[in-house]
Structure 1
Amino acid sequence: MKLNKKRLATAILTVFTGFGAMAQMPAEPAMPAPADYFLFPIKPGERNYLSGTMGEIRSNHFHGGLDIKTDQRVGLNVHAAADGYISRVKQSSYGYGNIIYVTHPNGLVTTYAHLLEYYKPLADYMLQKQYEKQVFDLELFPEPGQFPVKRGDVIGLSGNTGGSGGPHLHFEIRDKEDRLYNPLRYTFKEVLDTTPPDIYSIGISPLNIHARVGNAFERAELRTKQVGTNYSLADTVFAHGLVGLELQTIDRLDGATNKNGTQEVTLFVNGEQLYTHYIDRVPFELSRQVSQHINYDQYKRRGRTFQKAFVDHGNDLPLYKANGYDGRLKVQPDSVYQVKLVARDSYNNTSTLSFTVKGQKPSFTQTKSASVKKPDIAYEVIGNVLKISATDTSSTPQNIELFKGGKTMMLVPSYINNSVSVSLYDLRAGIPDSMRFCGLNTSIGLEQMVPPAQDFQFRNDYLKVSFDKQSLYDTLYLHTNLDKGVYTIGDYFTPLHKAVKVTIKADTTGIDKRKAAVYFLGTGRGRGFTGGKWEGNTITFYTKNMGKFKVLEDTKEPYIRLISKSRNGISFKISDDLSGLNSFNAWVDGKWILMKYEHKNATIWSEKLDKSIPLSGEVVLKVKDNAGNEATYTTRI
């Protein structure tokens, strides 16, 4: 397991002082500017509503600011939150869309994203540069004195550009180190919140081979009961050994039904503070580590967000204060632990979940199921533990035979539940080759233990995977497979922090490699273009996903349909059915014209540099996909 050195001193102190090492923990970081420093950027002085807040869990990052509602429409004035200058501006069909960055005298930076338009001087500057470079996607860094702004100046109009799911303004506060601050700490009177967070469920998981939850080596999920702001569980939780708690919580603001992020979670055990996380000052480059802040497996499988109330391996986010077990609870037999989890939002509204954990020494238990008629065997990897579940039809429990390097090991069942015996093996002792139960022989497809925090390379007959030292959060027990052209690399439910480099050997018979690339298959029917570079019959690509990949050939050119044309402008629908769009360019009477793109409705439309000159002549539009296929459309105005 990865040792986090920055918490080593706390761990040493806790050995001698127990949970008391938490006593000096600060409640929250200091604010970098006075509480009234910033103006609210939408309808300042009026009641506003939010659809998103700081710290919400998104698919691969923490939500980094506020999503401010704009009356379900575009075109509201966007005001500069404080004096400063425009230091950065970007236009794109994805991500933040049209965004402005304003740097302030104190070094803080505010961002305004998904804009419909920039204010006039900036819009003209962007348009001029787009024509000079003949591109639509463009990022610029104006000089400090080029576009000064005053607090309250209108710098643009709210919109729905980029990766936006509806009209709103995304507003952030950052520092010069690109750390994201919670804007609601600036007590904007435009937003009202007297509503405490909701606490739906907790998860509790065994964290090593000796741990149990309810005498079983498996995660338990328990719904809460609510009375006002106090929550409880129906029963006492029985556990043993090192366990980790997870909390499913959301926050709501007054007058809105949106499910927002809860900024702070604190864990108390027997009155002592064991752990807290406070989602603020999130380093932009570490935001992807949200995958280790939550139970990633549950998020991917069920779409449910459980935030861990402990600091998991490989998580270096500076959001936590925890004891020597990093917030994990070590449960001793016959001991009683009064547990309290407190959820607090940005306006200091709190909700509390209280329950009892009682230590229960593991014991062998056996229950049978009359429906079980024949033996079966399956396995899964949980942390460093190989958990083998064998359907046992015998009244006398049968052992599992493990085979490793010509040696045989016997695993005794830990318990039997409804005729399914559970046996546990610590994979750090070496990866077994296969196992046998009641005459059933099963191969164990684990090929390699890949350590975190170091460069590592794995190869077999059909692929090579190179792990960067920051690719993994924790130890990975890698399995791969090649079946009918589908390459399986690990598990879709395992997160990666940084990309891995993969080279695969492919059957290129009858394939035009100029049109062929690697695609990520995910879990459904979708196919995500990953790309790759060919060298002979191998193709090398980078991916931040584990799972299934396949080489596919795209020979179909992109689709183009004319929507409208006039002397004032032209517009088209464009799309591609496999590899995706790579570029588009248009010319009128032989002169390049800017085409703006909105991927959400697959539309491009023209914007003239000189609005006074009507369009006239032959129109040529060329659209290319990621496989190099090009479509051309011609017409006349």
Structure 2
Amino acid sequence: MKLNKKRLATAILTFFTGFGAMAQMPAEAPMPAPADYFLFPIKPGERNYLSGTMGEIRSNHFHGGLDIKTDQRVGLNVHAAADGYISRVKQSTYGYGNIIYVTHPNGLVTTYAHLLEFYKPLADHMLQQQYEKQTFELELFPEPGQFPVKRGDVIGLSGNTGGSGGPHLHFEIRDKDDRLYNPLRYTFKEVIDTTPPDIYSIGIAPLNIHSRVNNAFERAELRTKKVGNNYTLTDTVFAHGLLGLELQTIDRLDGAANKNGTQEVTLFVNGEQLYNHYIDRVPFELSRQVSQHINYGQYRRRGSTFQKAFVDHGNDLPLYKANGSDGRLKVQPDSVYQVKLLARDSYNNTSSLSFTVKGQKPAFTQTRSAAVKKPSINYEILGNVLRINAADTSATPKNIELFVGGEELMLVPSYVHNSVAVGLYDLRAGLPDSMRFCGLSTSFGLEQLVPPAQAFQFRNNYLKLSFDEQSLYDTLYLQTSLENGVFTIGDYFTPLHKAMKVTLRTDTTGIDKSKAAVYFLGTGRGRGFTGGKWEGNTITFYTKNMGKFKVMEDTKAPSIRLISKSRNGISFRISDDLSGLNSYNAWIDGKWILMKYEHKQATIWSEKLDKNIPLSGEFILKVKDNTGNEAVYTTRI
């Protein structure tokens, strides 16, 4: 393959510039409080079960604490884990729902989320403030002496509010810097775990153009075989070059079928530790970097969670202990590597996966397939490498014509598998315009190499992108398109850390811009309201997603349906079919009345400030969506 060496050198320099020193810390720091400091917050002294543990992989964050089961119901007493004072309290229909933060004398903070109710003094104070501020969604920061608590005090009732998927208590331990600690480090006797983690699969990914896994430039995913309490692979792996290992592992606790997070992964090669991660002390503001801790593309495509056993570019999480290669395995020809991966849970139950990697120099191989009936060509981008797959019926592999900046390059296939010739090209040598094979031509649409770790702007005739210096984890080979009103920016499988600013230029003929906004389309039929600010025929918004966007109008008001009404209270079901609900307010005889909202049931209901005064008079409910459409419901009580 012909490369422009000057262009490649410049690209490589750009690629590596901007990465700061990787945060490296010991795998397990000293505990910030004695092991018996905290009381278990649900049924202390009794056997408890967990549905979630610290470090589980969620869509855009690590799970930050424990999900404690509450007998599949709401209303269990929630106890303060230690002496302290309520320093923060919030009521919301999303996220943590109803949550209490308790600050302790040693500076640690415990949180109690998804509550059904706060204990009475706090609940009364919250209700008073909601009426004063005329809002349901409210966050307060009480003074240290305002709501003191003692270890074991009942501070609320367990519930299912906010973003929870069922009744439970979400319990966290944080420090003053909002770093999340693993609560199970405090060895609560209420939770029993003698079950080691499960190891399902190993992923082996080539990390540069010279890498191969079983003589192919593609990620291999291999199922494990359990032998006793440990795991192995049925075959030896033949490989070459720089590789990244990924582990699919979950943990189970005794007496529960839930798939929980595995706390620690360690990689040994020929008896030497190459890498370790221990999920603890996760900075709240960096939790989104879970996207680089895992194989994000596999998670988005299939929902499978493969944790990387190396520190990837742009990952600043302080969870790792790795050698100078950040855990990457460099395989030399004719060498043998005994690989062992350990998965350990919070109770030190450990499973191991052992297998052999043999170094094998890349060689041209060719296999045929009768299934290939006519030529075809496609491509994919893997890291910095453009991989071209050219299918052909001929016995002799043909070269692929690649056009880069007006130059024609003849790309010689690296190997042929089932009549598909694979050609590899390093994109840092210059972005190709198009390719040709057996009379078939394809344009790439690669518009810009966007470097990570620096602010960068890109524009064409239908959009403008502004990347923050922390938007990208790694180099982005940008592709955009506009087709039938759908703007495509990169792809759904590329993660962003910080938001990018996007300005779309669109035809506004016949559009009511007061009702039009940007929606994120994802991969299915969902439409997520993103918003945007209009200026002429452009609309600007911020997003942490790459993929498809469309400007759409919402001219339909929300729907309101009465559920029940009496002098004690009134309730409704409310919904909106596109932009989503923005606000809701109610009055009775002209006086504002609190309406509580639970989005999972799409239900709102009244709560009186004075429970002794019956509702009486004209009741008015107004509900607005995110584009200002308003629905009004009027009745008499």
Q: Same fold (TM over 0.5)?
A: yes
Residue aligning to 1:300: 300
Aligned partner letter, 2:307: Q
Residue aligning to 1:600: 600
* Aligned partners of 2:19 and 2:453 also within 8 Å: no
* Aligned partners of 2:22 and 2:316 also within 8 Å: no
Residue aligning to 2:230: 230
Partner of 1:6, secondary structure, is coil
Superposed counterparts of 1:544-623, under 5 Å: 544-623=544-623
Q: Distance in 1 between matches of 2:406 and 2:221?
A: 40
Consecutive aligned runs of 4 or more in structure 1 exceeding 4 Å deviation: none
Q: Report how far residue 558 of structure 1 moved.
A: 0.3
Q: Distance in 2 between matches of 1:164 and 1:186?
A: 25
Aligned partner letter, 2:536: G
Q: Distance in 1 between matches of 2:445 and 2:433?
A: 8
Aligned partner letter, 1:414: S
Q: Distance in 1 between matches of 2:405 and 2:185?
A: 59
Residue aligning to 1:180: 180
Q: Report how far residue 229 of structure 1 moved.
A: 1.7
Residue aligning to 2:21: 6
Residue aligning to 2:535: 535
Aligned partner letter, 1:137: E
Residue aligning to 1:360: 360
Q: Report how far residue 371 of structure 1 moved.
A: 2.1
Q: Distance in 2 between matches of 1:372 and 1:490?
A: 30
Partner of 2:368, secondary structure, is coil
Residues 284-309 of structure 1: CA deviation (Å, up to 9, x unaligned): 00000000000000000001000000
Q: Report how far residue 471 of structure 1 moved.
A: 0.4
Partner of 2:301, secondary structure, is helix
Q: Report how far residue 445 of structure 1 moved.
A: 1.2
Bigger Cα displacement from structure 2, 26-35 vs 70-79: 26-35
Question: Does residue 108 in structure 1 map to residue 108 in structure 2?
Answer: yes
Partner of 2:184, secondary structure, is helix
Partner of 2:128, secondary structure, is helix
Q: Report how far residue 227 of structure 1 moved.
A: 2.0
Q: Report how far residue 247 of structure 1 moved.
A: 0.3
Name stretches of at least 5 consecutive residues in structure 1 with no aligned partner: 11-24
Aligned partner letter, 2:21: K
Aligned partner letter, 1:485: G
Q: Distance in 2 between matches of 1:581 and 1:360?
A: 59
Q: Report how far residue 228 of structure 1 moved.
A: 2.6
Q: Distance in 1 between matches of 2:149 and 2:492?
A: 47
Q: Distance in 2 between matches of 1:432 and 1:27?
A: 43
Residue aligning to 1:96: 96
Q: Distance in 2 between matches of 1:428 and 1:108?
A: 47
Residue aligning to 2:388: 388
Partner of 1:447, secondary structure, is strand
Aligned partner letter, 2:611: K
Superposed counterparts of 1:248-263, under 5 Å: 248-263=248-263
Superposed counterparts of 1:11-22, under 5 Å: none
Residues 170-189 of structure 1: CA deviation (Å, up to 9, x unaligned): 00000000000000000100
Superposed counterparts of 1:26-425, under 5 Å: 26-425=26-425
Residue aligning to 2:633: 633
Q: Report how far residue 404 of structure 1 moved.
A: 1.6
Partner of 1:365, secondary structure, is coil
* Aligned partners of 2:397 and 2:421 also within 8 Å: yes
Q: Distance in 1 between matches of 2:273 and 2:21?
A: 20
Residue aligning to 2:437: 437
Q: Distance in 2 between matches of 1:307 and 1:88?
A: 34
Aligned partner letter, 2:351: S
Residue aligning to 1:17: none
Q: Distance in 2 between matches of 1:406 and 1:355?
A: 47
Q: Distance in 1 between matches of 2:234 and 2:366?
A: 25
* Aligned partners of 2:27 and 2:319 also within 8 Å: no
Q: Distance in 2 between matches of 1:435 and 1:5?
A: 37
Bigger Cα displacement from structure 2, 365-374 vs 523-532: 365-374
Q: Distance in 1 between matches of 2:354 and 2:374?
A: 43
Q: Distance in 1 between matches of 2:348 and 2:236?
A: 29
Residue aligning to 1:507: 507
Aligned partner letter, 2:336: V
Q: Distance in 1 between matches of 2:185 and 2:528?
A: 39
Aligned partner letter, 2:631: A
* Aligned partners of 2:372 and 2:393 also within 8 Å: yes
Q: CA RMSD in A?
A: 0.9
Partner of 1:122, secondary structure, is helix
Aligned partner letter, 1:506: T
Aligned partner letter, 1:599: H
Q: Report how far residue 4 of structure 1 moved.
A: 4.2
Partner of 1:131, secondary structure, is helix
Partner of 2:446, secondary structure, is coil
Residues 262-288 of structure 1: CA deviation (Å, up to 9, x unaligned): 000000000000000000000000000
Q: Report how far residue 26 of structure 1 moved.
A: 4.4
Q: Report how far residue 6 of structure 1 moved.
A: 2.5
Aligned partner letter, 1:336: V
Q: Distance in 2 between matches of 1:391 and 1:553?
A: 44
Q: Distance in 1 between matches of 2:246 and 2:405?
A: 39
Residues 226-280 of structure 1: CA deviation (Å, up to 9, x unaligned): 1232100000001000001000000000000000000000000000000000000
Q: Distance in 2 between matches of 1:546 and 1:527?
A: 14
Partner of 2:470, secondary structure, is coil
Q: Distance in 1 between matches of 2:27 and 2:557?
A: 58
Superposed counterparts of 1:442-453, under 5 Å: 442-453=442-453
Aligned partner letter, 2:187: T
Residues 311-348 of structure 1: CA deviation (Å, up to 9, x unaligned): 00000000001011100000000100000000000000
Q: Distance in 2 between matches of 1:26 and 1:615?
A: 61
Partner of 1:163, secondary structure, is coil
Q: Distance in 2 between matches of 1:436 and 1:219?
A: 26
Q: Distance in 2 between matches of 1:41 and 1:342?
A: 31
Q: Report how far residue 27 of structure 1 moved.
A: 4.8
Partner of 2:123, secondary structure, is helix
Name stretches of at least 5 consecutive residues in structure 2 with no aligned partner: 1-14
Q: Report how far residue 159 of structure 1 moved.
A: 0.2
Bigger Cα displacement from structure 2, 50-59 vs 433-442: 433-442
| Identity within the alignment, % | 86
Partner of 1:479, secondary structure, is strand
Q: Distance in 2 between matches of 1:596 and 1:415?
A: 63
Q: Distance in 2 between matches of 1:569 and 1:60?
A: 39
Q: Distance in 1 between matches of 2:370 and 2:158?
A: 64
